[in-house]
Amino acid sequence: MTNIDYEKELQALEEKRKQLLKEKREKDRKELQMLKEVFGKDFPRKENGKFISLDEFKKNYMISHKDQSAIDPNELNAVQEELNQLKKALNGIANAMDDSRGYWHINDLKGLTNWLSQFRTKG
């Protein structure tokens, strides 16, 4: 490649850099405008009363949604496993029921009531 080719390539790269920076500024401007609309007069300001920049906002603040829960994934897995065990137990009870006499009944009623008693909320 000649120097002319390198210069053209450098110019093309510089134009591409400028275009990408322009797109980033536009995207940041839209995002900042959206945040200002959401927060309204509560959007953070500097001491001189001007709004903070998007970079300052991202650095100093974290947005979280009200419906997000702070559940530990391990805790969630443990609860899910417990629910699966309960479902298996309930399926077992339901499968042991019989309607041959025209109504549903279970042979081990005492076992069922003992199992259900563990879920009581009253003394």
Per residue in 11-44, pLDDT (tens digit) is 989 999 999 999 999 998 998 898 888 888 888 8
Which of 93, 98, 85 has its CA nearest to residue 116? Answer: 93
Categorise residue 105: left if φ over 0, alpha if ψ from -120 to 50, beta otherwise: beta
Q: What is the mean pLDDT of residues 4-15?
A: 86
Reported as a single tens digit per residue, the pLDDT across 53-98 is 888 888 888 777 666 566 677 888 888 999 999 899 888 888 888 8
The pLDDT of residue 65: 66
* Contact (CB, 8 A) for 61 and 35: no
pTM above 0.85, yes or no: no
* Contact (CB, 8 A) for 83 and 90: no
Residue 95 Cα to chain centre, angstroms: 37
